[in-house]
Structure 1
Amino acid sequence: MRQINRIAIATFFITGFSFAQVFAQEEGQEEEIDWDAYGEVEYAGGESKTFANAKIVGLSPARFVTIGYEQQMPYTVQYSTIQKDGYSFDQDRQDAIDNNLGEEGEVTYTGGLRINANIPVISTNSFIWQMGFNYMQTAYRFSEGGAVEGGLKEQLDGRSLHTTGLFTTLYKPLNETNFLLLQAQADMSGDYTLDNLGDQYLRYSAAVLFGKRPHDRLQWAVGLSRTYRVGAPNYIPVAMYNYTSENRKWGIEALLPARAAYRYNINQTSLILAGFALEGASYRIGELSNPTDGEISSFEIRRGEIKARVEYQRQLVGFFWWSVQAGVRIDYSYDADYLDNGDETLRVFGILGDAPFSMRNSLGPAPYFNLSISFVSP
């Protein structure tokens, strides 16, 4: 049943690319492309030459530095034993649990620190370069009770998964309306500590988009991305759509399939965003990742989750804003792969493919909240 639900979710995202009005990403995942920090981009020579501006009016404030905390409420979890060679789940997941291949429990705490920074490096008439940093901690606490040997509870209970990343974004206006966006990112994701950091935890993502800015209230772009947003590596189309209404009271901010939100500007110092985000990464579990014949083998949890959410942002003082976000976290994927010699496993949207997983897990939905404070652009 869960497999059918995930296929339906994937189909929803794929279908969404066909509808322009639906085209409307930070932590542990590719960073959001947010250019509201920059002003008009014009030729600095004698005769004025206007290029496509990197922003539109009315967008939510661009966040230079954000520090936050996120927590999920308790939820149930079903998890299986670990099979290094993988095994197929063509049958219902519950059948596998009834055959003693899994166990059900409760996660009482999931949460941790969130840090994100987006720093403009160069902003000229024909080129903008931005560098960024992100960190996400996700700690887990399980309820009392037994655990499948080598299963999910044994690996995560009382421990944390981390994502630390660096990214760069380039904005290149081509003329008055057309532009290119390029982004590259390197993330280190897993249960590492300062004592066992290594490049075996590194994963790379990238995106390239071509777009248009017809006027100062509309900006759209389409392109291609290599991403771990649903856990396993994927090559998927992406679409950006930013729009503000004529009265500047409402709009859309979206980068599909990563996120989409309806925006309502209450006034100049407060706004509401309502929508969803698709977040995730591939987390290497060090204790289960052992060298094989001199090569590094990797056991990785393919985490992907959908967050249906509402966010309220308000100016605190000066350029400091605070925000509160609340919603429901819905499991998209939390299965695991054993990568012999580090060879990746490709699946369409993380779920459609022939390669068997090495561990199957199912997380129940969970309400969550996020509190943060940001230093925003002028």
Structure 2
Amino acid sequence: MKIHKPLLLLLAVVFFFPDVWAQAPETEAIDIFASPGVRGMGKPRGVVISYERLPNFSIESESDDPRLGNGEGQIRRHNKFSVIALAPLINKPQTKLIMGFNYDLEEFNFKGLTESSYSLYRYLEDKNLKSIGLQLAYLHSLNERNFYLIRVKGELNGDYTRDNINIADYLKATVDLAYGWKKTEDYAIGVGLQWGYTFGRQRVFPGLLYNKTFNPKWGVESIFPANFRLRYNANEKTLFYTGYRLEGASYDIFADETELQRYNEIELRRTDIKGLLRMEREIYDFLWFAVEGGYRRYYRHRIFDEVGSRDELITNDIGGAGYVSVELYLVPPRKWMNNSN
């Protein structure tokens, strides 16, 4: 699954996560060296645990292969679970090297499946689609106005289990490059490219960073066209957001059951857009939680006859649905932030 997150949450990680454990407002380091963060943004995160649920939506499937045919059904629930951990290997005012680990899991539960139900639905039922990733992000400030970032990430994406995992079959790599300008403590812009799987097949995608704090209460955080968030700072312990976010994923599937087994290795690619409302709130010093809800609409959800192929095996039309997610995450304790001043 893809929570981390992102162009999509992945590209958002490029600009925001490199500040982990170091994004302190109004420090001497920020005055001397540039970074993509602006005043008023939420605290950087070290460990994030999240769960998301999308209940009760329809699915219709079409295939030009007569052996598969067409089908329709109802998805009772779609669950997503994610854990992200980030830690600095180098944490200097001018240079930061961040190592990150993520584990994502998503599954579909269908309503009223029988042995005669559509083969794809029977295969996906309670099937754990997993993503395990490791990344390195390097952020360097050239001076008080300019910075750049390089990120490399490798993930194992698919329906593997502990017994059948083969790294060569499931490995997918992503590379991000970004260059930015810190205009003031309240304004940062940047441009970037990602070579990855944001929209399924591996391609190069552009991104435009725009972070601006207008006053102590209001600000914007965006990486166009991947996401846009309008931020409201109720106080130092409570933040509200509204906006949209694009998300995507690509999973390698070795179909060993149902009519799909004749194709051996196939690929599921999805892209969706979410309109969201979000609240982040401090529980105690270093511990925060977030609640998010909104409406999700799939842009594409397709099965391809082999990994990297452009030949669609099954095209799925999935209905829109409301969603809700909860997060629990760790941030730097205040005494650490105060000591950096």
- Choose which of 185, 188, 192 in structure 2 pairs with 1:219: 188
Number of the residue aligned with 1:263 = 231
CA contact 1:80–1:151 (8 Å) conserved in 2: no
Give the residue type in structure 2 aligned to 1:368. Answer: Y
Instruction: Give the SS at the match of 1:152.
Output: helix
- Choose which of 21, 30, 48 in structure 2 pairs with 1:37: 21
Shift of 1:297: 6.9
Q: 1:82 to 1:155 in 2, by over 3 A?
A: farther
The aligned runs of 1:334-345 (5 Å cut-off) are 334-339=301-306, 342=307, 344-345=308-309
Shift of 1:54: 5.1
Q: 1:140 to 1:82 in 2, by over 3 A?
A: farther
Q: For 1:157 and 1:188, locate their aligned partners in 2 and report how far apart those are by CA, in whole Å.
A: 21
CA contact 2:146–2:182 (8 Å) conserved in 1: yes
Q: 1:113 to 1:209 in 2, by over 3 A?
A: same
Number of the residue aligned with 1:66 = 48
Listed as ranges, the gaps of 5+ residues in structure 1 are 1-24, 44-48, 88-99, 290-295, 346-354
Number of the residue aligned with 1:298 = 265
CA contact 1:77–1:364 (8 Å) conserved in 2: yes
Instruction: Give the SS at the match of 2:191.
Output: strand
Give the residue type in structure 1 aligned to 2:41. Answer: L
Number of the residue aligned with 1:363 = 318
Q: For 1:82 and 1:288, locate their aligned partners in 2 and report how far apart those are by CA, in whole Å.
A: 21
* Counterpart check, 1:106 vs 2:68: no
The aligned runs of 1:120-269 (5 Å cut-off) are 120-146=88-114, 151-199=119-167, 200-245=169-214, 247-269=215-237
Shift of 1:256: 2.6
Instruction: Give the SS at the match of 1:335.
Output: strand
Instruction: Give the SS at the match of 1:60.
Output: coil
Q: Deviations over 1:195-225 (max 9, x none)?
A: 1111211111111111100110011110211
Of 109-118 and 214-223, more deviation after overlay is shown by 109-118
* Counterpart check, 1:320 vs 2:287: yes
Q: 1:129 to 1:356 in 2, by over 3 A?
A: same
Shift of 1:258: 2.5
Q: 1:210 to 1:272 in 2, by over 3 A?
A: same
Q: Deviations over 1:310-363 (max 9, x none)?
A: 110100011100110001111011101122xx5x24xxxxxxxxx431111111
Number of the residue aligned with 1:91 = none
The aligned runs of 1:84-103 (5 Å cut-off) are 101-103=69-71
The aligned runs of 1:274-293 (5 Å cut-off) are 274-287=242-255
Q: 1:375 to 1:112 in 2, by over 3 A?
A: same
* Counterpart check, 1:374 vs 2:341: no
Give the residue type in structure 1 aligned to 2:180. Answer: G
Instruction: Give the SS at the match of 2:313.
Output: coil
Q: For 2:191 and 2:80, locate their aligned partners in 1 and report how far apart those are by CA, in whole Å.
A: 33
How many residue pairs align between the two structures? 316
* Counterpart check, 1:75 vs 2:57: yes
Instruction: Give the SS at the match of 2:201.
Output: coil
Give the residue type in structure 1 aligned to 2:188. Answer: Q
Instruction: Give the SS at the match of 1:248.
Output: coil
Q: Which TM-score applies when normalising by structure 1?
A: 0.77
CA contact 1:41–1:52 (8 Å) conserved in 2: no
Q: 1:271 to 1:69 in 2, by over 3 A?
A: same
Q: 1:243 to 1:210 in 2, by over 3 A?
A: same
Q: For 1:148 and 1:119, locate their aligned partners in 2 and report how far apart those are by CA, in whole Å.
A: 49
* Counterpart check, 1:333 vs 2:311: no
CA contact 1:211–1:219 (8 Å) conserved in 2: yes
